[in-house]
Amino acid sequence: MNPTDQKKLTQTPLLKIWVPWMGRNLNRRRGSSVPQFCNSPTMIVMVGLPARGKTYISKKLTRYLNWIGVPTKMFNVGQYRREAVKIYKNFEFFKPDNEEAMRIRKACASAALKDVAVYFAKEQGQVAVFDATNTTRERRTLILNFAKERGYKVFFVESICDDPEIIAENIKQVKFGSPDYIDRDFDEAMEDFIQRIRCYSTCYTPIDEEKDRKLSYIKIFDVGTRYLVNQVQDHIQSRIVYYLMNIHVTPRSIYLSRHGESELNLLGRIGGDTGLSPRGQKYANALAAFIKAQNIRDLKVWTSHMKRTIQTAEALGVQYEQWKALNEIDAGVCEEFTYEEIQQNFPEEFALRDQDKYRYRYPKGESYEDLVHRLEPVIMELERQENVLVVCHQAVMRCLLAYFLDKPADELPYLRCPLHTVLKLTPIAYGCKVESFFLNIEAVNTHREKPGNVNINRNPEEALQTVPDHI
C-alpha cells in the first residue's frame, strides 16, 4: 500500500465526521448516532412497595435516556399480569399464600425477562427498565442470575416512602387511572389498594446496606428528601444517578416561547443574530402582559445569548438568566441564507438534511443531535426548578418539547413551534399536559415540512416545495 494513502481522511457527508482510511467498521462505529456508553446492556431494576412512584420514575428515566440517544425500553410487569388475568377482582390476588396467583405472577415476571433478552439481542437496546415491586431477596436474586448468565449489568433503584400524605397522593393520582379500578367506587378502590400494599409489606425485604454492599443501587427516600448511592459501575449508571437526584414532584409549569418575530424571519433567512421586527416587539409586550396575567409564583426567566431572545425578555421587566446553551442551532456555512440560497449553493447538503434532519450536521455547524447534547444541562436544571419561562429559538424549542412529550428523534425536527405562541407544559402523573396560547400578533410561518422527494438528484422545484412564504 502507498504510504500516502494511509494519511488520507474521508468525511461522512451526513455527519461531517473525519474518519481514517482504514476499514468500514470504524467509519460505521464513529458515524453512529448511538453513544457508546458501555460494552454490555444495563438492566435498571425498580424496587419498592406499590404507590412509591416506581412507574413514574421508570417512565421519566426511559424518556430521558431515549432523548439523549440511549435506546431504552420499559417493561412493566403489572401490564403482563393484566394481560394474563383479564379481570382484577380484589387485593386477595396479591396475598403471599395465594399459590395460584403467585404462580401467575412468577410466570409474568419470567415473560417480561424473556422480552428484555429479546430487546437486547434483536432490537439493539442498551437499557431495559424492569418496572415491578421486586420486594423479595429471592426475586432480586433471580433477576441478578438472569443478567449474569447473559452478561448484563444490573442497577437497582429502590423508592422508599413512609410519608402517609405522599403515599395517599400517589394512590389518588395514579391508581384511579389504573385499569384495575375502572368503574370502581373511590372509597372501595382506595381501601382495596391499601390492602394490596399490606400484602406486599408482609414479605418486603429492602436492599440491605451490609448484605447487599456489592450491588449497584440508589435508594430514594421520600421522593428525593435523601439518597443513598452504592457501587456505581460506569458512565451510564452515573448519568442515571445524576438525573434521579435532580427530578422532583412539586407541582409546577414550564412555559416555552420563541423570541418575537425577527428581521431575518421576515426575509426567510435562517440563524443570524438580528433584532426584533415591529411585530416581534409587539409580541414581546403581549408576552409580558400574558405572563403577568398568569400570576406565576417565583417565576424564573431564561433566554439565549442572542439579541432577539434578550429583546423579547426585556419587555417582561424582570430579571432573566442568559444561557449560551439555549442559542439557536448553528447552521455553519448556511448561516443567514434563505432555503432558496442553500438549494442554489449547496443542493447536495440541502437534500442530505432532508434525508435525515435529526442527524445531519451543517458544514462547520451543528445537527439536531448535537443540539440535544448541548441542551442536556438545561433539561437537568429545568427538572430541578419549579416555574420557568424559557425564551428560545425554533430548533431549541423542538428539542425541549421532544423531551417533555417523549417524541422520537425522527419526529423531533418537525415539531410545530410557531412564532408568537406560548406553550404551557404542566407535568402530570405519567406525562405532560400541554396548553397552547397564540397571543394574537401575526407573524411569518417558519415551519418547513419534509418534502416528498429527498433524492440528491431532485430538481429545485421539488427541493423547495415546502419552503414557507417570506419577503
Q: Among the options 192, 259, 330, 417, which is catalytic? A: 259
Instruction: Please answer whether residues 396 and 303 qualify as being in contact, where contact means their C-beta atoms are separated by less than 8 angstroms.
Output: no
Closest CA to 469 of 446, 441, 436: 446
Given 158, 192, 212, 328, the catalytic residue = 328
Q: What is the dihedral of CA 106, 110, 113, 117, to 10 degrees?
A: 170
Residue 328: active-site member: yes
From 108, 158, 161, 383, active-site residue: 161
**Residue whose grid cell is 435562517:** 270
- Mention every residue, 6+ apart, whose C-beta is less than 8 A from residue 35: 68, 69, 70
The span from the CA of 133 to the CA of 46, in Å, is 7
Q: Are 303 and 391 contacting, i.e. CB atoms less than 8 angstroms apart?
A: yes
Within 10 angstroms of residue 99's Cβ, the number of other Cβ atoms is 9
- Confirm whether 417 is a catalytic residue: no
Half-sphere exposure of 398 (CA within 13 A, CB side): 24
State how beta strands 421-428 and 254-258 pair. Answer: antiparallel
Of the candidates 333, 336, 342, which has an alpha carbon nearest to the alpha carbon of residue 464?
Answer: 342
- Count Cβ neighbours within 10 Å for each residue of 357-384 and write b for 16 or more, e otherwise: bbbbbbeebbbbbbbbebbbebbbbbbe
Residue recorded with cell 430521558: 64
3-state secondary structure of 225: coil
Q: Which of 199, 205, 77 is nearest to 137 (CA)?
A: 205
Taking alpha carbons only, the member of 413, 298, 284 closest to residue 353 is 413
Give the whole-angstrom CA distance, residue 143 versus residue 138.
Answer: 9
169 in catalytic set: no
Task: State how far the Cα of 422 lies from the Cα of 287, in Å rounded to an integer.
Answer: 8
Annotated active-site residue 131? The verdict is: yes
DSSP state of 440: S
DSSP assigned state of 113: H
C-alpha 401/C-alpha 349 separation (Å) is 26
C-alpha cell at 306: 442572542
Break the chain down into helix, strand, coil percent, rounded to 5: 45, 15, 40
Closest by Cα among 50, 208, 186, 210 to 131? 50
Q: Report the Cα 296 to chain-centroid distance in Å.
A: 25
Q: Say which amino acid occupies 285.
A: N
**Active-site pick, 131, 212, 330, 356:** 131
| Residues labelled as active-site residues | 131, 161, 259, 328
